[in-house]
C-alpha cells in the first residue's frame, strides 16, 4: 500500500512517521552473554601488564572489536619513564557521534597489575569486566540505531595500575595523559562528564561510589539505577578511591567512579590470584551496563 495513500487517509500517521527520526529504533540494552564472552576473551590474553606483548595484543583486539561494532577508533601511544623503566602505553578511544559535539567519557582501564605475590593474577574483574562492558555498550548503542544526545567517547585507559606504589608519578598513566591532552586542546568545556567503570563484574555486586566523585553525577547514577529497579546494588561509600576519574576531577570535570570495592569478603579477592572469571556474573555486567547506558543516553545533558 503506497505511503501517500495511507497518509491521505490517516493524516495522523504522517505526523507519527515524521517524528520517528528522533526516536531510537529500540532502547539500547546490554547483551549479558556477549559482555561475559568478551571478558573471557580479554582474560585469555594472559599477563597483559602495560608495555608487554600481551597488553599490545589486547589493545589491538579492543580497537578491532570497537571498530567492528561501528565506533570511530583512535589510538594514542606514548612513552613514559616509570619506576620500572621506560614503558610504552596505549590509550584507545572509540567514539559514537551524538546530536551534539559535547561529549561524555565512559572509561575503563584495560591493563592489569603485575603482582609478585600473585603470579597467577588474571584480572578478570580488575580490568576485564569493565573493559568488556564498554565494548558491549558500544555494540548495544550502535545496534539500536539510537543517536545519543551527546557524543559518547568510550576510552580504554592503559597504565591505571602502578609499577611500584600509587603516587603522582606512578599509576593512572593513561588517564593523566588523556586529561592533559584534553586540557591542552581546550576541550574541557565540551566534556560534560566522566563515568568511570572499574571492578563491576563481581557476582556479589555492591557498587561503592566513592566520595571523591561529583555529587550531582552520583545522584544521577543512583536515580538511573533506581529507575531500572537496581537501587539495592548501588550505594555511596565514605572512602576516597584513587582511580582514573581523578585527573578529570582535578580539571573541574564532573566525574564518578562506578566501582565495587568489596570484592570478596573484606575485598580479599582484589589484586590476588582469586580474581578469576568464575567470580564474574553476567547479571552484574547487565545491571551496571544498563544503568550506565540509561545514565549517558538520557540523564546527562
**What is the contact surface with Zn ion in residues (CB under 5 A)?**
126
Output 220 or 271, the one with its CB closest to Zn ion. Answer: 271
Nearest CA to 64 out of 97, 47, 41 is that of 41
**Cα–Cα distance measured from residue 76 to residue 116, given in angstroms and rounded to the nearest whole number:** 29
Output 126 or 214, the one with its CB closest to Zn ion. Answer: 126
Which residues, in sequence order, are CB contacts of 243 under 8 Å at separation 6+? 160, 172, 196, 198, 210, 257, 259
Other Cβ atoms within 10 Å of 289 Cβ, number: 25
| Least distance to Zn ion, CB of residue 272, Å | 11
| Least distance to Zn ion, CB of residue 24, Å | 35
Output 122 or 126, the one with its CB closest to Zn ion. Answer: 126
In the 8-state DSSP scheme, what is residue 177? H
| Least distance to Zn ion, CB of residue 229, Å | 30
Output 49 or 234, the one with its CB closest to Zn ion. Answer: 49
Indicate the pairing of strand 234-237 with strand 207-210. Answer: parallel
Ramachandran sector of residue 172 (left: φ over 0; alpha: ψ -120 to 50; beta: rest) = left
Whether 133 and 179 have beta carbons less than 8 Å apart is answered as no
Nearest CA to 176 out of 105, 247, 250 is that of 247
Nearest CA to 59 out of 135, 179, 176, 156 is that of 156
For the record, the C-alpha cell of 69 comes out as 561494532
Output 95 or 166, the one with its CB closest to Zn ion. Answer: 166
| Least distance to Zn ion, CB of residue 84, Å | 16
| Least distance to Zn ion, CB of residue 228, Å | 27
Output 126 or 257, the one with its CB closest to Zn ion. Answer: 126
Output 50 or 177, the one with its CB closest to Zn ion. Answer: 50
The residue whose Cβ lies closest to Zn ion is 126
Output 94 or 124, the one with its CB closest to Zn ion. Answer: 124
Across the chain, how many H-helices and E-strands are there? 9, 8
**Cα–Cα distance measured from residue 250 to residue 255, given in angstroms and rounded to the nearest whole number:** 10
| Least distance to Zn ion, CB of residue 270, Å | 7
User: For the packed helices 53-68 and 130-144, what is the interaxial angle rounded to 10 degrees?
Assistant: 20
Kindly state the helix (H) or strand (E) to which residue 236 belongs, with its residue range: strand 234-237
**Cα–Cα distance measured from residue 235 to residue 232, given in angstroms and rounded to the nearest whole number:** 8
Amino acid at each position: 500500500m503506497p505511503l501517500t495513500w495511507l497518509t491521505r487517509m490517516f493524516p495522523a500517521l504522517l505526523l507519527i512517521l515524521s517524528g520517528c527520526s528522533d526516536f531510537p529504533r529500540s532502547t539500547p540494552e546490554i547483551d549479558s552473554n556477549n559482555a561475559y564472552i568478551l571478558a573471557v576473551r580479554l582474560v585469555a590474553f594472559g599477563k597483559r601488564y602495560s608495555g608487554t606483548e600481551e597488553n599490545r595484543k589486547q589493545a589491538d583486539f579492543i580497537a578491532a572489536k570497537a571498530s567492528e561494532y561501528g565506533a570511530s577508533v583512535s589510538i594514542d601511544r606514548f612513552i613514559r619513564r616509570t619506576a620500572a623503566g621506560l614503558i610504552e602505553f596505549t590509550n584507545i578511544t572509540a567514539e559514537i557521534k551524538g546530536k551534539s559535539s559535547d561529549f561524555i567519557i565512559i572509561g575503563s582501564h584495560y591493563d592489569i597489575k603485575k603482582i609478585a605475590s600473585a603470579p597467577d593474577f588474571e584480572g578478570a574483574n580488575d580490568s576485564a569486566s569493565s573493559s568488556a562492558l564498554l565494548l558491549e555498550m558500544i555494540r548495544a548503542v550502535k545496534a539500536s540505531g539510537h543517536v545519543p544526545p551527546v557524543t559518547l567517547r568510550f576510552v580504554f585507559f592503559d597504565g591505571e595500575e602502578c609499577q611500584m606504589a600509587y603516587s603522582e608519578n606512578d599509576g593512572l598513566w593513561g588517564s593523566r595523559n588523556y586529561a592533559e591532552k584534553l586540557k591542552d586542546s581546550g576541550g574541557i568545556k565540551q566534556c560534560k562528564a566522566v563515568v568511570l567503570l572499574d571492578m563491576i563484574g563481581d557476582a556479589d555486586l555492591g557498587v561503592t561510589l566513592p566520595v571523591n566523585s561529583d555529587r550531582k553525577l552520583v545522584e544521577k547514577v543512583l536515580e538511573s539505577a533506581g529507575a531500572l529497579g537496581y537501587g539495592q546494588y548501588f550505594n555511596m561509600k565514605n572512602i576516597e578511591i584513587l582511580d582514573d576519574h581523578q585527573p578529570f576531577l582535578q580539571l573541574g570535570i564532573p566525574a564518578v567512579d562506578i566501582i565495587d570495592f568489596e570484592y570478596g569478603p573484606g575485598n580479599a579477592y582484589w589484586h590476588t590470584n582469586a580474581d578469576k572469571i568464575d567470580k564474574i556474573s553476567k547479571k552484574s555486567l547487565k545491571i551496571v551496563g544498563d544503568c550506565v547506558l540509561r545514565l549517558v543516553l538520557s540523564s546527562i545533558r
